Every structure is written in structure tokens, then in C-alpha cells.
């Protein structure tokens, strides 16, 4: 009798499963995509530019870059990298960008000098305003939202994934540009996701505004596309293999 009941119950379950499998599927609440994703040929390695990237620096020249006064960039190019020329000021891309995926490699001096914010400081400024800090943060104490990978003075990195001074490091940054209404009020803030040496350190954080060092962040309206900038903070930081994709 027990056996018979189990068989009957199992049959009932099978019948229910068959019925639900044949029921019409509910339509998803979004339309089916109508176009195929564009084909992009990836780089030889994940650090190499894919076919749709704008290569901003490939090791040869600074033709994509300008000084802050608009004249040709004066940082020093040698051995496949470019080095900050202290006192020359920051450099900006001639091209302008909005939403982007950025790959950039950097190295702080192998001979350690100074401490805190004075050791290996530079910065990657999305739209010339929103800084991802570059700093020698290997065994170098400073305020947490000022160390390498911080959205400067706003968000510390989730972890400290720094390599030793002199070693090449990478940032991969996904940046969502802010949007302003016709009155200049921000209606959609900038957002950033950052990987440092392949490690997630900023997870889609909402940027509070311009990353000032001496006052609270604020949004001031700007164009939908602006130059990418690299900071001269007086330290001879090196950069190489810089490419960017428009999103």
C-alpha cells in the first residue's frame, strides 16, 4: 500500500511538471534586441588595445596630448613610456570624451622619496575634473581617500592592490559622464568603476563632483565631452600603454 501511494504521488508530480512545461511563457518586460552587437577584435592580451580603441599613447610620441595652455605637451618620452616633467603642468588629450573605458599603466619612482601625498603623486582626471588618484601607496600612509585608486577625497579604494615602487601598474576605468539640465544643474552624477592591477577597487561609485583637494566637491556644468588629463604633482611618474574606448 505504501509503495502504491508513492507511485501515485510521483505520477501526479510528473503530470504537473509536464503541464507547466507546456504552458506559454510569459513575455519578458523588455523588447528583444534587433541588432547584432558590433564585432570588436580584442588585443593580443587584455592590456592591449582592442580594434575600436583610441590609442592615446603607444610609447612613441605625445601627438594626442597638449599642455594646459594648448601648446604641445612637454613631458618626457623615452623607452616606450612618458614621464611627468615636474613644473611643466598637466597634460590633456586633444580629443574629448564622455562615457569611456580607459586603460592606463603607470609606475612611481623606484627610488622612494618623500611620504604621504608627496610620494609618487599624479592623477588620472576623467573629463579633466574627476580624479582617480595615482600615488605610491606601497607601505605609504596617507588619508584613505587620498591613496592610490581613490576617487580623490571622496572614496578610498576597496582594497590596496598596489605594487612596489618602480613596478608597472594598471588602471582599468569605466566612467559614466554626468548629465546636466539646461539650467546647469546636475541630474545624473558621474559614476566610476576602477580595477587596479586587475583588482576591483571602485564599484560603480557615484562621484560627488569635482575632486578638489581643498574644498568640498561640487558639480559645475560642462560639455558632454571633455579632455582626459594627467596631473603634474611634481613627481616623475611614468605612464605607458594608454587607450580609451567610447561607450
Site for Mg ion, rule CB under 5 A:
121, 123, 133, 231
Shortest separation between residue 26's beta carbon and Mg ion, angstroms: 51
Shortest separation between residue 64's beta carbon and Mg ion, angstroms: 21
Residue 57 or 125 having the CB closest to Mg ion: 125
Shortest separation between residue 106's beta carbon and Mg ion, angstroms: 11
Kindly report the backbone phi and psi dihedral angles of residue 82, in degrees, each rounded to the nearest multiple of 5, phi listed first.
-120, 140
Residue 67 or 211 having the CB closest to Mg ion: 211
Residue 43 or 128 having the CB closest to Mg ion: 128
Beta bridge partners of 104: 171
- For residue 123, give the H/E element and its range: strand 122-126
79, 90 contact by CB (below 8 A): no
126, 190 contact by CB (below 8 A): yes
Dist CA 127 CA 53 (whole Å)? 17
Shortest separation between residue 20's beta carbon and Mg ion, angstroms: 58
Residue 120 or 178 having the CB closest to Mg ion: 120
Residue whose Cβ sits closest to Mg ion: 123
- For residue 2, give the H/E element and its range: helix 2-22
How are beta strands 65-67 and 91-97 bridged, if at all?
antiparallel
Amino acid at each position: 500500500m505504501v509503495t502504491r501511494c508513492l507511485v501515485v504521488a510521483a505520477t501526479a508530480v510528473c503530470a504537473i511538471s509536464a503541464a507547466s512545461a507546456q504552458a506559454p511563457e510569459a513575455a519578458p518586460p523588455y523588447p528583444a534586441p534587433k541588432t547584432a552587437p558590433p564585432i570588436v577584435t580584442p588585443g593580443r592580451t587584455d592590456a592591449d588595445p582592442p580594434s575600436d580603441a583610441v590609442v592615446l599613447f603607444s610609447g612613441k610620441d605625445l601627438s594626442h596630448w597638449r599642455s594646459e595652455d594648448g601648446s604641445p605637451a612637454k613631458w618626457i618620452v623615452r623607452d616606450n613610456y612618458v614621464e611627468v616633467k615636474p613644473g611643466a603642468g598637466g597634460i590633456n588629450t586633444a580629443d574629448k570624451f564622455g562615457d569611456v573605458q580607459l586603460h592606463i599603466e603607470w609606475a612611481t619612482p623606484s627610488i622612494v622619496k618623500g611620504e604621504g601625498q608627496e610620494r609618487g603623486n599624479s592623477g588620472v582626471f576623467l573629463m579633466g575634473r574627476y580624479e582617480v588618484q595615482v600615488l605610491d601607496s606601497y607601505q605609504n600612509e596617507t588619508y584613505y581617500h587620498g591613496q592610490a585608486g581613490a576617487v580623490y577625497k571622496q572614496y578610498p579604494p576597496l582594497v590596496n592592490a598596489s605594487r612596489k615602487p618602480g613596478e608597472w601598474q594598471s588602471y582599468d576605468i569605466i566612467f559614466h559622464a554626468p548629465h546636466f539640465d539646461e539650467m546647469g544643474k546636475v541630474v545624473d552624477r558621474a559614476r566610476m568603476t576602477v580595477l587596479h592591477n586587475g583588482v576591483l577597487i571602485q564599484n560603480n561609485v557615484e562621484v560627488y563632483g569635482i575632486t578638489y583637494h581643498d574644498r568640498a566637491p561640487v558639480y559645475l556644468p560642462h560639455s558632454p565631452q571633455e579632455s582626459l588629463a594627467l596631473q603634474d604633482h611634481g613627481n616623475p611618474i611614468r605612464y605607458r600603454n594608454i587607450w580609451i574606448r567610447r561607450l
